[in-house]
Structure 1
Amino acid sequence: MSTSRPTPSGPATPEVKALRDALDAEHAAVYGYGVAGGRLTGAARTQARTALDTHRARRDAIGRLIADRGAIAPAAAPAYTIPFPVDTPADATRLAVFLEEGVALHLGALVAAAGAPLREDAANWLRESAVWAVRWRGASTPFPGLPEAGASGTPTAGGRT
């Protein structure tokens, strides 16, 4: 999912930019988990609901952090582009991995841009997204939050339709 909207007004420090990008990724994750949850059942649906609640809480916290810095937080788009059809539980699981990887990339950038104590919060959020990705994928990656070497593109959350 990619973003195409203008940046809201307010201070444009690297930390605020990284917070806005992370917030946009969280907005997309909330939307995407709504899509994924519609194709899951049983324990997987419960897991998706818990992940959705986690992303909502993180989205709200990041929005407050942006406002605390005197900046304007980007609002959620009315809809986001889903990168592939989600017709089966396997597709929904793949979407959940995609969402967590996209959020982790933005949280990794926030860790790099943030000062203390926000850096610690961002690192904890990054860890949480990495754990969610492992739960969905069934395996870990060497460096969650960093793009893979030689990757042709990086999945990002946050695009509008």
Structure 2
Amino acid sequence: MKNNGSIAATNDQYYIKRHQTRSLQSLIYPDLLKDRKTDLIKMKTFLLALGFALICASSAFDPAKITGEWRTILKGADDVEKISEYADMRIRLRHLECIDDCEKLAITFYVKPNGECQKVSGVATKGPHNVYEAEYAGQNFFRIEYFFNDIIIFYTIHVDGNGKVTHMTNVSGKYK
């Protein structure tokens, strides 16, 4: 009988001493433990995404809570140039107001297309599938993806005058 640390091998059978914490599977398949860690990370990511999806699916919002002062926290786009510092779509949200039970949404924001701050106001109209449509620097189709407490997330599809499509996400917080 050979003694290999805490594992004793006899006739191709492995015995683990009582103080040994590793499982028999990890001794036979040493890469299994690494795969389990990877699987655990994947599972945590999946559960986080599932939880976020369930929250989003169940987030029916109160129009009265949307009306108020807002500030842009984070903006992302698949074409970063569209939201760069002096670009037209680098909006800084300031005010939202629900009109007719949020069938229309009045929006006020600031932009700095030429380095000079400009206030922009407009009204977006709700269409099918709760998608709002508004005109600013082209056509904009957006939807409130998430609204809870003082956080709102918009998903926007912007089509500029040349027909170029940009997908954007805007995270804003209510200003108190």
Give the alignment's TM-score, normalised by structure 1: 0.28
- Give 1 or 2: higher strand fraction: 2
Give the alignment's TM-score, normalised by structure 2: 0.27
Larger Rg: 2
